[in-house]
Structure 1
Amino acid sequence: MHKLAGIELGGTKTVVVLGQAGRIDERLEFATTEPEETIARAIETIEGWRDDKPVDAVGIASFGPIRVSREAADYGCLLDTPKPGWSGAAVVAPVAAALGCPVALDTDVNAAALAEQRHGAAQGCDSMVYLTIGTGLGGGVLICGEPVHGLLHPEIGHVRLRRAAGDGFEGACAFHGDCLEGLLSGPALAARLGTHPSRVDAENPMWEPVAHDLAELLAMLVLTVAPERIVVGGGVAQRQPQLLPMAVGRVPTLLGGYLRDCTREKLGGMIVPPQLGDDAGPMGALVLASRALEDRVAAVRHVPAAA
């Protein structure tokens, strides 16, 4: 049995796990501090699990933006991020150097999407989106079962969409103001609501413009990605479960009758909470590790025999 490790590197906390794709056997969580300290603690944790043999592969599911193209000179490094001290930080190189095994990297939301597609709420779906609404807002996209990469990776949280009429909140994103992360993330909601979102009753009318903004996001994804499933996770969605059905109920109106199949009932079965909860990211990291090991085995099999 192969021994796999995963690192979910979040803006607030880091989760390190040992197990298999679809199964977590060991788990440790700690605060994400400075880059060197955080990465070193993750490596130390994995090395501590080396009893009978070293791990076979590691998957890293990281907050972003991060360079995911292996051809890039700064592959595995954070780009410009609002988290102090992390812009330019190397994530992959120190892990690979210390552990000497295959290492795979993707965004935390792409990894969570892989986990939910393989083991959770999006099983059987070739195309899906995983959204997380918490400290930030991110979205992972799978097309034909593969995470979307291009110039970078999807940055859904920094899209701007139509605002609700009369909503004067300026937004809280340091880069874009009223992008989706600046409107819907936990810190943005705290500024928008004047208190921690968990303290605002579900029936409070202050949730109405918030539900509108989430509905705009969902309608945009339906029109641009045409996913079979949208899984919406994160602390905000978990603590305010009324928000998702409020938003889903607004999507048909926003679509304006253009997609007649997108009824409220249809969308209610298509836009769902995660099945894996807080384990989506760590389990996604283990999926990345299994893919890294598969790639290594395939590469070895295709090495020409010596003459």
Structure 2
Amino acid sequence: MKLGAIEAGGTKFVCAVSDENINVEDRAQFPTTTPAETMAQVFAYFEQHPVDAIGIGSFGPVSLNQDADNYGFITNTPKLAWKNYDFLGAMKAHFDIPYYFTTDVNVAAYGEYQAGAGRGKKNILYWTVGTGVGAGYIQNGEFLQGYSHPEMGHILLRHDPRDLGFEGVCPYHGDCFEGLAAGPSIEKRFGKKGNELDPSNEFWEIEANYIAQACVNATLILRPDIIIFGGGVMKQSQLFPQIQTEFVKQMADYVDFPEISNYIVHVELGDDAGITGALMLAKKATE
């Protein structure tokens, strides 16, 4: 049995093929441009590498309500070329095989749950902070989903007093979590990417404050066993002790939580979390 995966990100698409034991045999990536250009490359890839099922993790928002007319669509995305695009329908029109369709953060969460930092945990929260901010939550082995998937990247936070003049970059909410802490917000403030900013810059304390606030909110609402962070911004290793310290301060001994160094942690699978999870979900689709 051959399994396929698509990790559809706002910047790039990654496609991969594995055997039934999730040993990756081939992978490719290409820029996220327009549906016509990018999906042509996806179709060509799986024509060259036939598979028995595909797991898809897509940037969003996406419609995951299987009773909705737009199930499988990318919906109200700021990437306007992809707005209201029938992603799953386009795939089914080309390949009549089983699919597992979910968000890009959900597939990464599943990879970490099965094979990364979430191994052995029942309830894990995976958060990515990069070009955007998004989260996937797994409770007792199932994705948290109501009317559709959560959008925890757009929760509202309190402005750090040192950052009051920054209005945020989210086109919908301005200074939500994504608007204050995602990669583009750093570029807006400094005119350069976060990885070009000195690790000792005071801004990282501000960033840690925002991320800690999000962790406090998630802890009070979800009570996860672990909070796992991935994404380009989180490759700043100095952030983790800063977030952990700020989290403890903000929580103020109100509720208990696991030992902090084992509670707010970095992704173990790195940039492979999404592809790994998508392949695992492809296998689940065949079952």
- What is the TM-score normalised by the length of structure 2? 0.96
- 1:136 and 2:129 matched: no
* Aligned residue number for residue 305 of structure 1: none
Distance (Å, rounded) in 2 between the aligned partners of 1:21 and 1:156: 32
Instruction: Verify the 8 A CA contact 1:7 1:17 in the aligned structure 2.
Output: yes
State the SS of the aligned residue for 2:74.
coil
State the partner residue of 1:272.
265
Query: Runs in 1 of length 4+ with deviation above 6 angstroms?
Result: none
Partner of 2:8: 9
Q: Secondary structure at the match of 1:61?
A: strand
Structure 1 residues 1-80: aligned runs within 5 Å: 2-19=1-18, 20=20, 22-50=22-50, 55-80=51-76
Partner deviation per Cα, 1:198-238 (whole Å, 9 max, x = no partner)? 12111111222111111101111111111111110001111
Q: Is 92-101 or 192-201 further displaced after alignment? A: 192-201
Secondary structure of the residue aligned to 1:18 is strand
Rounded to whole Å, the distance in 1 between the matches of 2:245 and 2:156 is 21
Q: Which runs of 5+ in 2 are unaligned?
A: none
1:40-82, CA deviations, whole angstroms, 9 ceiling, x for partnerless residues?
21121011013xxxx1111110001000111111011111111
Larger Rg: 1
Quote the residue 2:231 is aligned against: 234
Letter in 2 for 1:286: L
Identity of aligned residues (%): 40
Give the conservation status (yes or no) of the 8 Å contact 1:218–1:248.
no
Amino acid of the residue matched to residue 238 of structure 2? Q
Structure 2 CA distance, aligned partners of 1:74 and 1:83?
18
Describe the SS at the equivalent of 2:186: helix
TM alignment of 1:1-307, pairs within 5 A: 2-19=1-18, 20=20, 22-50=22-50, 55-168=51-164, 169-238=166-235, 240-259=236-255, 261-262=256-257, 266-294=259-287
Matches of 1:180 and 1:193 in 2, distance apart? 18
CA shift for structure 1 position 21: 5.6
1:165 Cα deviation from its structure 2 partner = 2.3
One-letter amino acid of the counterpart of residue 227, structure 2: I
Q: Which amino acid aligns with 2:280?
A: V
- Opposite residue 284 of structure 2, the aligned amino acid is R
The amino acid of 2:32's aligned partner reads T
RMSD: 1.3
C-alpha displacement of 1:167: 2.0
Give the whole-Å Cα distance in 2 for the aligned partners of 1:24 and 1:141.
Answer: 25
Query: Which blocks of at least 5 consecutive residues in structure 1 are unaligned?
Result: 295-307
How many residues in Structure 1 have an aligned counterpart in Structure 2? 285
**AA aligned opposite 1:6:** A
Pair 1:148–1:21, CA change in 2 (3 A): farther
Partner secondary structure for residue 177 of structure 1 = coil
Q: How does the TM-score come out when normalised to structure 1?
A: 0.90
Amino acid across the alignment from 2:233 = V
Query: Cα deviation per residue 1:83-112 (whole Å; 9 max; x = unaligned)?
Result: 121110111011112111011100010111
